[in-house]
């Protein structure tokens, strides 16, 4: 439990609530060509910025707890940073350190995984995102575990790959697949047998989240566990075949495949086997974990459910303790802004649509399920459409805004936080026109919010968790030139960017408590998005905890 925040006696108050808008995946682009944010007619955002102090915040790398500044930020660590007010070492860094120190291999979970497979003369299976994007997983972690398994006497390993094309290049699958096959070939000595057994694109199988589309998990279960699916002699053959059959398909959408010999799958999961889901990020790990672990499971017919020893890379839900067995402990995040606000009697609303609902609740609260105070907090989920995002680029931003405008005018809340997913979810499709449309659709909603804030006499804080829509084309790192396809069209970039994100403070009934000028210059600069917590606490009339990262406001 935390103590209530101390009131700032110099704060003169506002009639309405503080509303935090998180424009998911919206940054300041580095390149003119391919910046869908700059290309979009963001009339309302531009108008807000023209009469408000604003600055740029870091949203990647070390500023959000990732290993290096070459690492893209993501929604999970971004919301952690904003909601927790401090930077914690995150998944990739924790796993890498655990492997380097050997702690992962000395832990009870790893020992149980190895002991089970060895004792039953079974297979050790690895399932996870097959890239070095460092958002959900990293291939270096997989390679280290395969080599350690060999050292510890495991004879048979099977890998079930989920192609990325989202946190890395959209058609980069073979750039990872070929070197990995060479790695396995070099490792397969002395009777050790490691092979790729099945796979597909991350947005087609296995990696659903928030219960949006359980059919993805069902397809993954069938292909990984039962070996049911279209058969190929190799993963490379599967990728090449699907690319020929479905022109323009990108890696995240590749259909499921099974590697087989003489019509028999090389790696179906059997009783006595061990399974490691090697993604470290939790949101797209919970559903496949439930399929392996839950006795009472009603999302789809699992058919034969093998008796296996299952482990996740990390604990994906600290409150429900899922999975039961995990290889690396997640960061211990405490004293979040949400907990402080609840202890201080601040009435709060958190809202988004399904795709980002968990981010404004679970991740914002430091990977904590549930509320800090049932009487003070309301959480609202607007159900997302189950369609490709490029077909509905506006997503549910209007419906989210409807609810927020009602909440602002109701007088029921002191603090409202919302996430518009458009810039991230549509940005990941790589469809440029759709991304521009998503930005303009979201901008219309910002215009509606400003009117509500004006009427209520509140404050609007606009920011983002990371970049994405601001960098939609692949560029040469040295020259900055756009990479192009054979037909001369730009090569789409579907991953996040390393670009800074906005922080805008719209305070229409400003009373002079902090220095400000319109435009850039009056806010603290060079900060990361972890500064959002202290900023919001100050705008609510409280003094932030001493160890919180500095606010953008110059109090």
The CA-atom distances, in angstroms, between 546 and each of 85, 247, 549 are 10, 56, 8
Residue spans of alpha helices (H) in 4-138: 36-39, 43-50, 75-84, 91-101, 103-106, 108-119
- Catalogue the active-site residues: 75
Q: Report residue 460: phi and psi, to 5°.
A: -115, 125
- Please check whether residue 439 is in contact with residue 472, taking contact to mean a CB–CB distance below 8 angstroms: no
Tokens of 170: 């959209």
- Please check whether residue 26 is in contact with residue 439, taking contact to mean a CB–CB distance below 8 angstroms: yes
Residue with tokens 């795709």: 355
Return left, alpha or beta for 69; rule: phi > 0 is left, psi -120 to 50 is alpha, else beta. alpha
- Please check whether residue 201 is in contact with residue 254, taking contact to mean a CB–CB distance below 8 angstroms: yes
| Cα–Cα nearest to 208, from 90, 290, 321, 95 | 290
What 8-state DSSP symbol labels residue 62?
G
Q: What's the gap between Cα 150 and its chain centre?
A: 32
What 8-state DSSP symbol labels residue 374?
T
Tell me the chain's radius of gyration from C-alpha atoms: 24
- Ordered DSSP codes for 174-231: HHHHHHHHHHHHHH--TT-EEEEEEEEETTTTT---TTS-HHHHHHHHIIIII--S-E
Tokens of 274: 């061990």
Q: Rounded to the nearest 10 degrees, how much is the dihedral formed by the CA atoms of 223, 225, 231, 234? A: 100
List, as own/partner pairs, every contact residues 434-438 make where C-beta atoms lie below 8 angstroms and the sequence separation is at least 24, other chains included. Answer: 434/389, 434/390, 434/391, 434/393, 435/36, 435/393, 435/469, 435/472, 436/36, 436/39, 436/40, 437/393, 437/394, 438/389, 438/393, 438/394, 438/395, 438/469
- Residue 329 to residue 316: CA distance in whole angstroms: 9
The DSSP bridge pattern shows strands 193-201 and 156-163 to be parallel
Q: What's the gap between Cα 520 and its chain centre?
A: 29
- Residue 165 to residue 173: CA distance in whole angstroms: 7
């Amino acid at each position: 439990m935390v103590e209530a925040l101390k009131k700032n006696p110099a704060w003169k108050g506002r009639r309405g609530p503080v509303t935090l808008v998180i424009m998911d995946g919206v940054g300041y682009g580095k390149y003119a060509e391919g910046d869908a944010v700059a290309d979009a007619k963001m009339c309302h955002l531009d108008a807000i910025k023209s009469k408000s102090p604003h600055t740029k915040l870091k949203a990647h790398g070390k500023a959000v707890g990732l290993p290096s500044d070459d690492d893209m930020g993501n929604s999970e660590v971004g919301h952690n940073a904003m909601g927790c007010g401090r930077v914690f070492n995150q998944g990739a860094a924790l796993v890498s350190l655990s492997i380097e120190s050997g702690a992962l291999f000395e832990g009870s979970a790893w020992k149980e995984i190895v002991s089970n497979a060895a004792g039953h003369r079974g297979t050790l299976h690895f399932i996870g995102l097959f890239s070095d994007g460092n958002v959900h997983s990293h291939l270096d972690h997989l390679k280290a575990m395969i080599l350690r398994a060999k050292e510890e006497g495991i004879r048979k390993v099977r890998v079930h790959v989920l192609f990325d094309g989202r946190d890395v290049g959209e058609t980069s699958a073979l750039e990872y697949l070929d070197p990995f096959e060479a790695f396995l070939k070099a490792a397969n000595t002395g009777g050790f047998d490691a092979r790729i057994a099945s796979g597909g694109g991350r947005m087609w199988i296995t990696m659903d989240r928030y219960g949006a589309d359980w059919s993805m998990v069902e397809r993954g279960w069938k292909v990984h566990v039962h070996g049911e699916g279209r058969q190929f002699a190799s993963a490379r053959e599967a990728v090449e075949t699907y690319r020929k059959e479905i022109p323009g398909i990108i890696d995240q959408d590749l259909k499921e495949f099974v590697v087989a010999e003489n019509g028999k799958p090389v790696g179906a999961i059997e009783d006595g086997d061990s399974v490691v889901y090697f993604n470290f990020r939790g949101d797209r790990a919970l559903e496949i974990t439930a399929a392996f672990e839950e006795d009472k499971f009603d999302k789809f017919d699992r058919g034969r459910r093998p008796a296996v020893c299952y482990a996740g890379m990390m604990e994906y839900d600290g409150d429900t303790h899922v999975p039961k067995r995990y290889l690396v402990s997640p960061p211990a995040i405490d004293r979040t802004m949400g907990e402080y606000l609840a202890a201080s009697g601040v009435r709060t609303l958190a809202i988004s649509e399904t795709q980002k609902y968990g981010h404004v609740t679970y991740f914002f609260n430091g990977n904590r399920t549930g509320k800090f105070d049932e009487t003070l907090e309301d959480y609202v989920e607007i159900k997302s459409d189950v369609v490709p995002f490029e077909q509905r680029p506006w997503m549910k931003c209007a419906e989210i805004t409807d609810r927020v405008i009602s909440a602002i005018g109701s007088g029921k809340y002191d603090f409202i936080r919302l996430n518009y997913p458009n810039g991230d979810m549509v940005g990941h499709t790589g469809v440029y026109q759709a991304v521009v449309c998503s930005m303009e659709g979201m901008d219309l909603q910002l215009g509606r919010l400003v009117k509500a804030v004006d009427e209520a006499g509140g404050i609007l804080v606009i920011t983002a968790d990371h970049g994405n829509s601001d960098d939609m084309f692949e560029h040469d790192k040295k020259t900055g030139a756009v990479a192009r396809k054979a037909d001369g069209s730009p090569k789409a970039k579907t991953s996040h960017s390393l670009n800074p994100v906005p922080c805008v403070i719209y305070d229409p009934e400003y009373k002079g408590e902090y220095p400000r000028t319109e435009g850039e210059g009056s806010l603290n600069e060079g900060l990361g998005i972890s500064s959002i917590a202290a900023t919001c606490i100050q705008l609510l009339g409280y003094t932030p905890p001493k160890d919180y990262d500095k606010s953008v406001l110059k109090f």
